[in-house]
């Protein structure tokens, strides 16, 4: 990174970029941009601004120290001189040092200050760094922004990394000025309103996959549970009852029977909240009652749950492909017809389930989802999603075959794992079938169009609506 930072991104005065710069300097409407601080962010920003045709003046406590690291088109001077010369100033110093800039109060009065700082940890209470800066400099117009853009992105240009810049300010004029600078640098400004939004903007780069926490935790807990269950049945049981040591099964075999269990239960968990929501709406006879918070959270985590399920399914496929490599080569034995059928069926259902899950995963990508309309998206995620659940359930059923009825399979009185795994998918599939019954689907469709049992708002749905609601029932 330091190498990259000191690499010259801006070309010499003689080339096109420099010409652009000269145009800007000669254009009196182009504001002079000041930057306070000479750190990583300041250097990258200065390079980007110069490349975008702005005149840049950098203010430092020790101007001579870092001058060589800035493009020669940028002027590096004292903080006071930079504050006096610039029309708009980026404050690229850490927030704990904002108070050391108080001597510049007069020079910065009436000017726009862009606070690019981030906090050390997520702050929900406030005040934000930008609000504190506005308190220090009441005569200036503080705009919060650019804190979500890294020095690396600035140096590489907007073609790499995130292109959105979140902005907020109490002054619309100051915000518009910063917006125009964003556009010119190749970024997309996103107006977040007043300076009170700055707390949220400062928190944005500090979040660590907030929407993934619950699904990943759920996946890990399920994995631990099924791994231990399979370990007791497949490794501990033969050791205790027959003194047979099969601990070598732990890294691949036990993991490979655990992964599909997690994948199938997670897939069922994707569709269960939709069913619960439908049941709640039928129960209360209206769609205008709020769902309980836990259900709301569950509904919004469906995409992540689905992707976790997909991950486990893919890993299961890879482990299964590696399986033959780890097994000793046996003499070919004539397999009984029934066994051949079982293997063919469960492999085929498994491959189909994985194919459908891949389709669901691909269409959940924002760039792909943006190219299809809502009905197509709902068809893939709902109808094809249920097909994937059906195929994965069939895969497990074929795998289990008739072992549910073999007493020897109940080791330590524990039922075979596939029986446990099948409970939730069965509930979801049967629930879905129940919601498709004409009397139930009809009532649900009316509720989703605003009908309310207690208010006696009665209306008939158009005939065609009554026939195409198959995808509707889980569209919560
Ligand atoms: P840095 O490399 O440590 O630079 C901070 C600069 O602040 C110093 O070079 C120093 O320049 C100046 N400064 C002014 N008064 C100071 C004081 N009293 N004590 C210490 N330094 C003082 O930090 P940075 O990475 O450029 O980050 C600067 C700001 O940008 C931070 O608020 C950070 O949250 C924000 N930011 C950084 C990035 C990034 O990728 N680096 C991304 C988004 C936001 P002089 O010695 O020349 O005065």
* Strand, helix or coil for residue 55: strand
Quick: pLDDT tens for 145-154: 999 999 988 8
Structure tokens at 56: 């840049």
Report, as an integer, the average pLDDT of 292-299. 95
Indicate the burial class of 234 (C-beta count within 10 angstroms; 0-12, 13-18, 19 or more). Answer: middle
pLDDT at 470 over 80: no
Kindly state the percentage of the chain with pLDDT values over 70: 86
Quick: pLDDT tens for 394-419: 999 999 988 889 998 999 999 999 99
Quick: pLDDT tens for 84-125: 999 999 999 999 999 999 999 999 999 999 999 998 999 999
Quick: pLDDT tens for 215-225: 999 999 999 99
Ligand 1 centre and the CA of 272: distance in Å? Answer: 49
| Residue that is written with structure tokens 């893939």 in the block | 380
**Among residues 60, 21, 57, which one has the least CA distance to residue 38?**
60
Ligand 1 centre and the CA of 6: distance in Å? Answer: 16
* Strand, helix or coil for residue 112: strand
**Among residues 398, 460, 100, 452, which one has the least CA distance to residue 287?**
452
Ligand 1 centre and the CA of 415: distance in Å? Answer: 61
**Among residues 280, 266, 260, which one has the least CA distance to residue 398?**
260
Query: 462 or 204: which carries more pLDDT confidence?
Result: 204
Q: Ligand 1 pocket: which of 64, 74, 92 to mutate (most atoms <8 Å of CB)?
A: 92
Nearest CA owner, ligand 1 atom 27: 41
Nearest CA owner, ligand 1 atom 9: 39
Rounded to the nearest integer, the mean pLDDT of the chain is 88
CB of 80 within 8 A of CB of 107? yes
pLDDT at 8 over 50: no
Ligand 1 centre and the CA of 82: distance in Å? Answer: 16
What residues flank ligand 1, with Cβ below 6 Å? 37-42, 60-62, 66, 92-95, 97, 100, 116-118, 147, 150-151
- pLDDT at residue number 343: 87
CB of 116 within 8 A of CB of 91? yes
**Among residues 127, 204, 136, 194, which one has the least CA distance to residue 164?**
204
Q: What are the phi and psi torsion angles at 225 (to 5°)?
A: -60, -50
Give the C-alpha separation, 392 to 353, whole Å: 5
Ligand 1 centre and the CA of 391: distance in Å? Answer: 55
Ligand 1 atom closest to the Cα of residue 148 is 43
79 Cβ contact partners less than 8 Å away, ≥ 6 residues apart: 36, 59, 60, 61, 101, 103, 104
Report, as an integer, the average pLDDT of 289-298. 94
Count the alpha carbons within 13 Å of 196 in the hemisphere toward its beta carbon: 1
- pLDDT at residue number 264: 97
Report, as an integer, the average pLDDT of 284-308. 94
Confidence of residue 390 (pLDDT cuts 50, 70, 90): very high
Nearest CA owner, ligand 1 atom 7: 93
Q: Is the peptide bond before 180 cis (omega within 30 degrees of 0)?
A: no
Ligand 1 centre and the CA of 35: distance in Å? Answer: 10
- pLDDT at residue number 401: 87
* Strand, helix or coil for residue 68: helix
Helices (H), 249-301: 255-284, 293-300
Query: In angstroms, what CA-CA distances link 7 with 2, 161, 218, 425?
Result: 9, 18, 45, 56
Query: 28 or 88: which carries more pLDDT confidence?
Result: 88
Ligand 1 atom closest to the Cα of residue 66 is 47
Q: Ligand 1 pocket: which of 35, 36, 93 to mutate (most atoms <8 Å of CB)?
A: 93
| Residue that is written with structure tokens 């109060």 in the block | 105
Quick: pLDDT tens for 64-86: 998 999 999 999 999 999 999 99
Report, as an integer, the average pLDDT of 469-475. 40
395 Cβ contact partners less than 8 Å away, ≥ 6 residues apart: 260, 346, 349, 350, 353
CB of 229 within 8 A of CB of 420? yes
pLDDT at 160 over 70: no
pLDDT at 364 over 50: yes
- pLDDT at residue number 3: 46
Ligand 1 centre and the CA of 383: distance in Å? Answer: 52
Nearest CA owner, ligand 1 atom 20: 97
Report, as an integer, the average pLDDT of 266-282. 97
Ligand 1 atom closest to the Cα of residue 93 is 7
Query: 126 or 272: which carries more pLDDT confidence?
Result: 272
Ligand 1 centre and the CA of 42: distance in Å? Answer: 7
Give the C-alpha separation, 372 to 401, whole Å: 39
Ligand 1 atom closest to the Cα of residue 41 is 26
DSSP-derived secondary structure for 154-180: HHH-TTSS--EEEEEES-HHHHHHHHH
Nearest CA owner, ligand 1 atom 4: 39
Query: Residue 379 gets which letter from DSSP?
Result: I
Indicate the burial class of 255 (C-beta count within 10 angstroms; 0-12, 13-18, 19 or more). Answer: middle
- pLDDT at residue number 341: 87
Give the C-alpha separation, 51 to 48, whole Å: 5
């Amino acid at each position: 990174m330091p190498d990259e930072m000191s690499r010259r991104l801006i070309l010499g005065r003689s080339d096109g970029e420099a010409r652009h710069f000269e145009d800007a300097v000669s254009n009196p409407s182009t504001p002079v941009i000041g930057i306070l601080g000479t750190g990583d962010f300041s250097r990258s920003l200065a390079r980007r601004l110069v490349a975008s045709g702005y005149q840049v003046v950098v203010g430092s406590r020790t101007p001579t120290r870092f001058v060589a690291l800035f493009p020669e088109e940028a002027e590096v001077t004292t903080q006071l001189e930079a504050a006096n010369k610039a029309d708009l100033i980026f404050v690229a110093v850490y927030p704990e040092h904002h108070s050391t800039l108080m001597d510049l109060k007069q020079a910065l009065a009436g000017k726009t200050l862009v606070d690019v700082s981030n906090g050390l940890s997520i702050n929900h209470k406030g005040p934000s760094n930008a609000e504190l800066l506005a308190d220090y400099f009441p005569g200036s117009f503080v705009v919060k922004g650019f804190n979500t853009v890294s020095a690396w992105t600035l140096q590489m240009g907007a073609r790499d990394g995130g292109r959105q810049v979140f902005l907020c300010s109490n002054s619309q004029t100051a915000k518009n000025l910063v917006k125009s600078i964003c556009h010119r640098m190749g970024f997309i400004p996103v107006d977040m309103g007043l300076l009170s939004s700055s707390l949220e903007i400062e928190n944005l780069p500090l979040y660590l996959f907030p929407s993934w926490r619950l699904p990943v935790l759920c996946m890990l807990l399920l994995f631990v549970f099924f791994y231990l269950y399979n370990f007791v049945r497949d490794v501990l049981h033969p050791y205790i009852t027959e003194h047979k040591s099969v601990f070598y099964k732990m890294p691949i075999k036990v993991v490979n029977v655990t992964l599909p269990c997690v994948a199938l239960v997670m897939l069922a968990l994707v569709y269960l909240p939709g069913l619960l929501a439908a049941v709640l709406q039928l129960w209360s006879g209206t769609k205008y009652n709020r769902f309980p918070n836990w259900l709301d959270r569950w509904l919004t985590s469906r995409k992540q749950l689905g992707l976790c399920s997909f991950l486990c399914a893919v890993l299961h496929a890879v482990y299964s492909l590696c399986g033959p490599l780890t097994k000793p080569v046996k003499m070919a034995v004539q397999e009984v017809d029934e066994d051949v059928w079982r293997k063919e069926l469960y492999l085929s259902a498994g491959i189909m389930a994985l194919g459908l899950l891949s389709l669901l995963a691909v269409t959940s990508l924002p760039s792909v989802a943006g190219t299809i309309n809502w009905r197509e998206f709902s068809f893939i995620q709902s109808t094809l999603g249920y097909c994937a659940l059906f195929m994965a359930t069939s895969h497990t059923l074929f795998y289990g075959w008739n072992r549910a009825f073999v007493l020897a399979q109940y080791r330590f009185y524990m039922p075979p794992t596939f029986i446990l795994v099948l409970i939730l998918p069965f509930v979801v599939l049967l629930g879905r079938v129940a919601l498709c019954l004409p009397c139930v689907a009809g009532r649900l469709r009316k509720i989703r169009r605003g009908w309310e049992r207690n208010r006696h708002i009665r209306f008939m749905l158009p005939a065609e609506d009554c026939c195409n609601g198959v995808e509707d029932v889980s569209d919560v």
